[in-house]
Each structure stands twice: as structure tokens, then as C-alpha cells.
Amino acid sequence: MANASAHSDVPLVEEPIEVPAASGAFAELGVSENVVRALARRNIIGTFAIQALVLADAIAGRDVLAKSCTGSGKTLAFALPIVERLSSRRRPSALVLVPTRELATQVAEEFRGIAEAKGLHVATVYGGVGIAKQVKAAGRADILIATPGRLLDVLRRRLVRLNGVGICVLDEADRMLDMGFLPDVSVILSVLPEQRQTMLFSATLDGEIGRLAARFTKDPVHHEVSEKRPVVAEAVHRFVAVQPGDKVDALARELTAERDLALVFVRTKRGADRLARNLVARGFGAQAMHGDMSQPARERALARFASGQADVLAATDVAARGLDLERISHVVNFDPPADDKTYVHRVGRTARAGRTGTGLTFVTPDQQAEVARMAKLLDLHREFANGLQSKPQPRVPAGAGARHRTQPPTRRRKARRT
């Protein structure tokens, strides 16, 4: 249930607690048998901490405020309650707001397997593609996943009606506010039916996020997964001292080592294109992705990357959220992130949901002081100090990438928890 009236404080029903990574079975938390079977077909067996905390309250219809880091399995924490609670055929009946097109696509894919088990339909609305086809699908969907800007556009054109929405989720709410979507989100929430369930998932619940929650939720249950460390614990964090002119050689050297998919972050769109071309010239299967590309072009780039056809993706921070591919074994900060939060989101593309991975950051002499401060905030000062003691490595000959395998070694598939 939701209420647009203001509340002075957001009630905390329970204190944040630390929960083991795997915490029991979905059925024990109220998930129906056919949905449990749909999860099992995807090798999703046990729950993660945020799911174990949220599911029972969310399935019961309570408003939820959840604080959880990237890669913690929060998508299923709201997707499962939506699928379990929907019975009305007024469409759409559930709305999920996300900050980016990539995350909208990712969340939709996560929904579809379990939604089909209940005969529910999922649609997406986001910018960068034609609006007519999206609007037609949205009108027939039970669950709508949308970015705020495009959704507000179609609402103002009266192309989609939200008067049947009984459940609303804000996913990565902190990121939406960082991107300036607070006015759009506020308008969208204010036009939804007053009697609804609202769930908000965010890396922080302070400041504007807390005020937004106080305005648009009623007696919410507060759940928080406390982290012993502010970065992904399963990742190996490495820092490598390099000279500016040697960064491409250093990257090529890393890419010739044993690995699977490598996601390489650069600061600018032009830099992503330039680096991808340079790596292709050296024999690597590389692809660029950034915000200047059309949505179809970005989707093609991601498809080539996901399949391993291009096993190196040079990307701007557009890929720092919402990208969840099991095969990403390495995240490389070719250009260091702007701050500690961006580092967490970048490196969070690997070592997700219990898997391992490597986060590698190149540091030039003029960047050492800034990166040192970030590493200290992330409790990575030892890894940073060890990295600066590394010795220069020999140059990598041109064409070395052609000798690097493009197919990963065969590995036994493990049951995963999302």
C-alpha cells in the first residue's frame, strides 16, 4: 500500500542484520511450486541474503525499503513477489522503474522465465528505439519495466495508462537520482493509484532517497544487507602502476592471460572506440560500447560480447550498471573510476552472485594520489600498495591477441543464485 502524503520519518521495522550468502529455499518464503520449478530450470536453487530478508514481507504486500549492494541478487527479491501477487488482468498491473536501458533489458530477461510460469507478460519502455512498438507491447503487458524519461514521455502523450498499477518498484533508486531523474520519478509516482505496494531498492537510503521513500511509501519494512567490506568480497582486486604510453601494452599483456570475458572501462566515448580499434589491430576480438551508439547498436555489441564473439568490451560507465553476464571474469579500469562508488559498480560486473572474478585498475603516476584515496575508502590500501611495487613488464608484440583463445575452457555448470 502506498500513500502520497508525507511522513516525518521512515519507520524501521527491524535493524539491519548480516545474513549468510545462501539462506534456504524459495518455497519456505512463500514462492509457489511452479515458480520454484521455473527457477530450478535456470539452476537457481537457494536464496541470497537480500532475497531471504525481503521475500516474505514483499509477498505479503508490505511496502519495502531495501539496501543492498550491486550483484547481491536484488532483482529476484522484487520480481518474485510481483509474479506471486499479480492476479488482476488490468494492464500493466506492476511497474518497475530503472535508471538505464541496459538495466531495463536485464531486468526484463530476469522476469520472463518466472513470469511465464504464471502466464504473465512483460514489456519494456526505454529510449533509443521506436516508441510505437514499445507502447503496443506495454498495453498488453502485466509487468512494465521502464526508464523514467521515456515513460514520462509516453504518459504525457496519453499512450500508456497506469491506473491499474498495484505494485511499483524503484530499482537502483540512488542511480536514478544521481542521473537527475528525481523530478520524473516523483511525477510518475504521484499519478499512480494511491492504494498500491511500493518497493525501493538502493545502495543507500539516506538523503533524497530517504525523503522520496517517506513521501511515497506507507509503514515500510526496512531491510539491509550489511557488508563487511564496501566492495565485492569475491573479487580479486589488483592495481598496476603504468606509464601513460604503456597502458595499451599493459592491457594486451593482461588479455593474453587465462581468462573469459573481459570488460574494460574507459573515461570517454571516443576513448572506447579508439581502444577497441587498437585491440582489434593487435588481434583481439574487441567491441566498443558507449552512449553515442544507438540502442540497437548497443544491443548488438552486448550480444557479440555475451556470446564470446568479441570477448573484450571497451565501454564507458554506461556498462557499469545492469550488466550481469556469468562469463565476465575480468573487469579492467583502463581509466580509473571517478570515485569509490563507481569503482564498486564497475568491478561489480564480475564476481557476482557467489562467482569469482578479477578487478584490475591501471594507475599512472599523476593518478596515484587520487586512486590511493579511493583505495583507502574501499579498504583496498594493501592491494594498492602492492600494485605500485610491481615491476615493468616486457612489451607485447603486435598480433599477440590472435593467439589468445576466443573460446573459454569447458567448465562444469554450477547452480547459481540470482
pLDDT digits (tens, 9 = 90+) for 68-124: 766 668 899 999 999 999 976 768 999 999 998 888 998 999 998 899 999 999 999
Task: Calculate mean pLDDT across residues 27-48.
Answer: 89
pLDDT digits (tens, 9 = 90+) for 354-409: 678 999 999 999 999 999 999 998 889 889 988 876 555 555 555 556 544 444 43
The domain boundary, picked from 201, 224, 247, lies at 224
Is there a single domain that holds both residue 181 and residue 306?
no
Would residue 196 count as lying in a domain?
yes
Is there a single domain that holds both residue 291 and residue 187?
no
Would residue 53 count as lying in a domain?
yes
Would residue 63 count as lying in a domain?
yes
Is there a single domain that holds both residue 276 and residue 346?
yes
Is there a single domain that holds both residue 212 and residue 314?
no
Threshold 0.85, pTM exceeds: no
Average pLDDT, the chain: 84
Is there a single domain that holds both residue 288 and residue 311?
yes
The domain boundary, picked from 224, 245, 280, lies at 224
Would residue 120 count as lying in a domain?
yes
The domain boundary, picked from 182, 205, 224, lies at 224
Would residue 52 count as lying in a domain?
yes
The pLDDT of residue 296: 82
b/e map 149-182, b = 16+ CB within 10 Å: ebbbbbbeeebbebebbbbbbbbbbbbbbeeebb
Give the total number of structural domains in the chain.
Answer: 2
pLDDT band at 322 (very low <50, low <70, confident <90, very high): low
> What CA–CA distance (Å, rounded) separates 10 from 64?
11
Task: Calculate mean pLDDT across residues 259-276.
Answer: 96
Task: Calculate mean pLDDT across residues 305-324.
Answer: 87
Q: What is the CATH number of the domain that holds 186?
A: 3.40.50.300
Is there a single domain that holds both residue 356 and residue 247?
yes
| Local structure of residue 334 (DSSP, 8 states) | S
Is there a single domain that holds both residue 150 and residue 202?
yes
Can you state the angle between helices 74-85 and 33-41, rounded to 10 degrees?
140
For 414, the 3-state DSSP assignment is coil
The pLDDT of residue 216: 94
Q: Quote the domain boundaries for residue 335.
A: 235-403
Would residue 410 count as lying in a domain?
no
Would residue 48 count as lying in a domain?
yes
Longest dimension (CA), the chain: 65
Is there a single domain that holds both residue 323 and residue 208?
no
Task: Calculate mean pLDDT across residues 347-357.
Answer: 79
Whether the per-residue pLDDT at 412 is higher than 60: the answer is: no
Is there a single domain that holds both residue 265 and residue 175?
no
Q: Do 184 and 177 touch, CB atoms closer than 8 A?
A: no
> What CA–CA distance (Å, rounded) separates 219 from 11?
6
The pLDDT of residue 231: 57
Is there a single domain that holds both residue 51 and residue 154?
yes
Is there a single domain that holds both residue 211 and residue 241?
no
Residues in CB range of 239: below 8 A, 6 or more apart: 360, 361, 363, 371, 375, 380, 383, 384, 386, 387, 388
| Local structure of residue 323 (DSSP, 8 states) | -
Q: Quick one: what percent of the chain has pLDDT higher than 90?
A: 56
Is there a single domain that holds both residue 183 and residue 248?
no
> What CA–CA distance (Å, rounded) separates 298 from 292?
9
Residues in CB range of 253: below 8 A, 6 or more apart: 393, 396
The pLDDT of residue 190: 95
Would residue 409 count as lying in a domain?
no
> What CA–CA distance (Å, rounded) separates 405 from 261?
11
pLDDT band at 142 (very low <50, low <70, confident <90, very high): very high
b/e map 17-49, b = 16+ CB within 10 Å: eebebebeebeebbbbeebbebbeeeebebbbb
Number of Cβ within 10 Å of residue 355's Cβ equals 17
Q: Residue 108: which of 62, 157, 75 has the closest Cα?
A: 75
Q: How many CA atoms lie within 13 A of 361 on its CB side?
A: 33
pLDDT digits (tens, 9 = 90+) for 212-259: 999 999 999 999 886 555 556 678 999 999 999 999 999 999 999 889
